[in-house]
Amino acid sequence: MAKRISLTRYLVEQQRVAGHIPSELRLLLEVVARACKSISQAVNKGALGGVLGSAGSENVQGEVQKKLDIIANEVLIEANEWGGHLAAMASEEMDGIYVVPNRYPQGEYLLLFDPLDGSSNIDVNVSIGTIFSVLKKPDGDRGVEESDFLQPGSHQVAAGYCVYGPQTTLVLTVGDGVAMFTLDREQGSFVLIQENLRIPEDTKEFAINMSNMRHWDEPVKRYIDECLQGKEGPRGKDFNMRWIASMVADVHRIMMRGGVFMYPWDKREPNKPGKLRLLYEANPMGWLVEQAGGAATNGRQRILDVQPTQLHERVSVILGSKNEVERVTSYHSAL
C-alpha cells in the first residue's frame, strides 16, 4: 500500500528537511487545520446541528451574518488564541483586529481569515470554505496594531484554504509550491494527496457572475464577449462557464483543471474597487494561484503588490490560468 503522508508529517518535513518554515509557523498551521476540521464537522451536521440560517446580525461590511459565519469565526479564534504563536487575528466577521489576550503568550505571527467563504451557499448545501493568510508582525518589540496587518500579499509567509464540499480538502502554500490534503474522517487527519499543484496556462473555462455584465468595465466585457463568440470568434475555440458563488470552490476547480476567475470592479458602487476583500480573500488566493504557476491581478497590477490601506479593503480580482489572466490584464492597459 502506498505510504500515507499526514499534514503533520508534511509540515515537519517542511520544517526539518526543507527548512522552509520555523516550528512556530508549523504549529500555527496545524492549529488552523484543526480548526478547519471542527468547522467541517459543523458544516456536515447542517440542520441536525442547528447551524443553518441567519444569525440576525450584520458584519462591518453590512452583510447579513449566517450562524455558520459566526461559529466558524469563533472556532478559529478559540483554537488559535492560546498557543503562543500569534500576536493578533483579523477576520471578515470582525470590525477590528483581535489581539491575543494578555493571559496568553504573544507570538510573532498575524493570522487573517474569511472563516466561512461563500456564505450564500451555506443553507443550500453547496461547497463553502475557509480562506487564511499568515503574516509576520513587522516590529517584534512593541504591541500589535491594526496597521501591522496592512502588508502587501507578497509578504505572506503561509496561505491556504479548506473547501467543505463532497470532500474536505485543505490546500496550502508556505512559498514552496502548493500541496493538497484531503480529510480522512475515520482517522481524523488530513492526508497528502498531491504536491506541486500546477494550473494549466491555457483554459477554455471562465468563472464570473454574468448577471453583472451590464455593470462591467469595457476590458472585462470585451474578454467575456470574445469567449462567448466561441469557435466563430477571435479566440477560435468554444468556452465553458462555471460560477459556484463560493470563491473557495471556484478557485479550487481552477487549481485542479485550470480556468479564469473574475470578480471585477463594476459600476454599481464605483467607489468600491470590487466585492472581494484584499487581505483575507484575494491575497491568499492570489499567492496560492501564483505558487501553482497561475497569475492574479486587479486588471492593472499584480494583486500581491497592492499596498493595503484598510483592513477590510476590497479589490478587483482576476486570477487563474496564466495566459488568460495576462490577456484580460492586457485589455485593461489597451484602453
Q: Which residues bind ligand AHM (CB under 6 A)?
A: 63, 92, 114, 117-120, 209, 245-247, 263, 275
Q: Which of ligand AHM, Mg ion, none has residue 123 at its interface (CB below 5 to 8 Å by kind)? A: none
Q: Which residue is nearest to ligand AHM (CB)?
A: 247
Q: Which of Mg ion, ligand AHM, none has residue 209 at its interface (CB below 5 to 8 Å by kind)? A: ligand AHM
Tell me the window of 107-115, 216-224, 251-259, 295-303 that interacts with Mg ion (CB under 5 A): 107-115
* C-alpha dist (Å) from residue 247 to 85, 251, 255: 28, 6, 12
Element (H, E) at 16: helix 7-16
* C-alpha dist (Å) from residue 331 to 48, 217, 300: 49, 11, 10
Least distance from Mg ion to the Cβ atom of residue 324, Å: 22
Instruction: Show Cβ contacts of residue 216 under 8 Å, excluding neighbours closer than 6 positions.
Output: 224, 264, 266, 267
- Nearest CA among 189, 174, 175 for reference residue 11: 174
Q: Which of ligand AHM, Mg ion, none has residue 194 at its interface (CB below 5 to 8 Å by kind)? A: none
CB 161 within 8 A of CB 168: no
Tell me the window of 64-72, 109-117, 193-201, 236-244 that interacts with Mg ion (CB under 5 A): 109-117
- The pair phi, psi for residue 217, each rounded to 5°, is -85, 160
Element (H, E) at 71: helix 67-80
Residue with smaller CB distance to ligand AHM, 227 or 254: 254
Site for Mg ion in 64-103 (CB under 5 A): none
Q: Which of Mg ion, ligand AHM, none has residue 148 at its interface (CB below 5 to 8 Å by kind)? A: none
Cα angle 79, 81, 87; round to 5: 140
Residue type, 14: Q
Q: Which of ligand AHM, Mg ion, none has residue 245 at its interface (CB below 5 to 8 Å by kind)? A: ligand AHM
Q: Which residue is nearest to Mg ion (CB)?
A: 117
Check residue 4 and report its DSSP letter: P
Report the distance separating Cα 150 and Cα 34, nearest Å: 27
Residue with smaller CB distance to ligand AHM, 118 or 160: 118
Least distance from Mg ion to the Cβ atom of residue 1, Å: 38
Residue with smaller CB distance to Mg ion, 66 or 332: 66
Q: Which of Mg ion, ligand AHM, none has residue 120 at its interface (CB below 5 to 8 Å by kind)? A: ligand AHM
Residue type, 260: V
Residue with smaller CB distance to Mg ion, 61 or 125: 61
Q: What is the DSSP string of 230-273?
A: GGGSTT-S--EE---S-HHHHHHHHHHH--EEEE--BTTSTTSS
Q: Which of ligand AHM, Mg ion, none has residue 109 at its interface (CB below 5 to 8 Å by kind)? A: none
69, 93, 117, 266: which one binds Mg ion (CB under 5 A)? 117
Residue with smaller CB distance to ligand AHM, 261 or 331: 261
Report the distance separating Cα 328 and Cα 220, nearest Å: 7
Residue with smaller CB distance to Mg ion, 55 or 228: 55
Residue with smaller CB distance to ligand AHM, 127 or 203: 127
Q: Which of ligand AHM, Mg ion, none has residue 246 at its interface (CB below 5 to 8 Å by kind)? A: ligand AHM
Chain residues in the site for Mg ion (CB under 5 A): 114, 117
